[in-house]
Amino acid sequence: MSAIASAKAEARRRAAAVPTDYPTHDDIFRPADAIVADDTPGILQPSRLAWSDDARGLYLYHGDCLEVMDTIATKHPDGVFDLIFADPPYFLSNGGITCHAGRMVKVDKGGWDKSRGPALNHEFNTAWLERCQRLLKPHGSLFVSGTHHIIFSVGFAMQQLGLKLLNQITWQKPNPPPNLACRTFTHSTETVLWAAKNEKSKHRFNYADMKRANAGKQMKDVWTFTAPKPDEKTLGKHPTQKPLVLLERILLAASNSGDFVLDPFMGSGTTAIACVRLGRKFVGIEQTRIYVELAALRLEADSFTLVACVNVFVKTQNDLELSAERIDPISAMSTPGSPPHDCIFHETKFVFLSCAHVSHASIVHTTLNVTLQEAWAHAPDGKKRETTHIVRCETEILRVKSS
Ligand SMILES: C[S@@+](CC[C@H](N)C(=O)[O-])C[C@H]1O[C@@H](n2cnc3c(N)ncnc32)[C@H](O)[C@@H]1O
């Protein structure tokens, strides 16, 4: 048996071993029996739906984008996506050096980023662009990011395929890493090409929204955004992660709420997060397992918002009706019809104060996590005599499921 045949047999064996409760997506996007490269050398796996959320219309595929896009196209020959954002391999991990966190390091973003030479790189760019074009709805459009390593090939392939070029956007980074070799200017930009499906397309452009976002002036094709902020990488890092603001700008410019968006090189799922925040539906494809997992993790984390409720209540000793006092949880979410949530922190603290002196007040006693009756019962008699006021401070932190 040849190496490929035995790898395929191994992949089928592993696919058969996938637990039956693994999510599948049988209706529109289920890929065929495609066999794709995993990130582990020599291991092949079938493309599969790795994570989904039907309520929000989010589908993450682990697999090769060419295979998955072909499968989608068999079900949707006239296109299904309103917008595509593609951040393909730039093919720049070829032994050069760069500066990372102040240190000189080799550029090595992963095997997927190694160049196979201009001809094969162009063949690959043409292959995925042709599939993207097929999957766009008649008036849909496509954004592709890149640097000089691939962007000329991408632009040429777009022309060859008959896409309608709309803009060449420059993403300018105000704080780029220094150029260590000192043989060229410091690289501080990336290009984003925007194209419509074909010459007949009446592409969407939310002109007024863009003008409003630019303080009432026409939005230009130079956008200044810093690299992703640290809080965009708390769950894990991708070596070429895009900033969320860039994706939000693109979605706001060229799609509407409820639109269907595709990212064939999903990476850590930045496009997915932007879609969730702006109410777009999303299909993402990624061939490296750890990045699919990172994207799913980011989406899981983004499906909740934290709500903190603080309630402060003051009583004077004269007011104390200890026998009648009940401590009800403040829970802002306890009313019928409130969204699903769970309480991750709840604390009730009583602060006994002496405010008898006009000039100052002092804290006499504090106690945690008890009812007022218990707090009063456990306070030493001497402290009780000094107490003029009791402040109840209640804090609750809730994780609320986003709708
Ligand atoms: C430039 S990165 C995308 C980063 C992403 N925009 C983000 O913000 O995290 C390109 C990604 O495409 C994936 N990739 C490369 N070739 C692929 C293919 N043929 N099919 C699917 N994914 C591929 C790589 O594993 C890599 O994670």
Q: What is the pLDDT of residues 265-278, one digit of tens each?
A: 999 999 999 999 99
pLDDT tens, position by position, 275-294: 999 999 999 999 999 999 99
List of long-range contacts for 315-321, beta carbons under 8 Å, 24+ apart: 315/389, 315/390, 315/391, 315/392, 316/388, 316/389, 317/387, 317/388, 317/389, 317/390, 320/372, 320/376, 320/390
Q: Where are the alpha helices (DSSP H) in 118-262?
A: 118-135, 151-161, 207-213, 244-254
Out of 30-34, 119-123, 248-252, 368-372, pick the least confident.
Answer: 30-34
Sign of CA dihedral 27, 33, 35, 40: positive
Q: How far is the CA of 264 from the centre of ligand 1 (A)?
A: 7
What's 240-278 look like in SS3? CCCCHHHHHHHHHHHCCCCCEEEECCCCCCHHHHHHHHH
Q: What is the mean pLDDT of residues 76-87?
A: 96
Nearest CA to ligand 1 atom 3: 267
pTM summary value:
0.73
Domain boundary pick from 287, 302, 317: 302
Most trustworthy range by pLDDT among 194-198, 300-304, 350-354, 366-370: 194-198
pLDDT digits (tens, 9 = 90+) for 146-177: 999 999 999 999 999 999 999 999 999 999 98
Residue with the larger pLDDT of the pair 347 and 134: 134
285 lines ligand 1 (CB under 6 A): yes
- Determine the Cα–Cα distance for residues 388 and 353; give it in Å rounded to an integer: 6
pLDDT value of residue 391: 85
The answer, yes or no, to whether any atom of ligand 1 lies below 6 A from the CB of 131, is no
Quick one: 121 and 221 in the same domain? yes
Q: Range of 310's domain?
A: 305-401
pLDDT digit string, tens, across residues 342-372: 788 888 888 988 887 767 888 999 988 667 7
Domain boundary among 258, 283, 302: 302
Give the confidence band of 397 by pLDDT, cuts at 50, 70, 90.
confident
- 240 and 277 in a single domain? The answer is yes
Q: Which atom of ligand 1 is nearest to the CA of 113?
A: 15
Q: Is 199 exposed, middle or buried (0-12, 13-18, 19+ CB in 10 A)?
A: exposed
Chosen domain end from 245, 269, 302? 302
- Are both 354 and 329 inside the same structural domain? yes
> Token pair for residue 357?
């002196």
DSSP 8-state class, residue 388: -
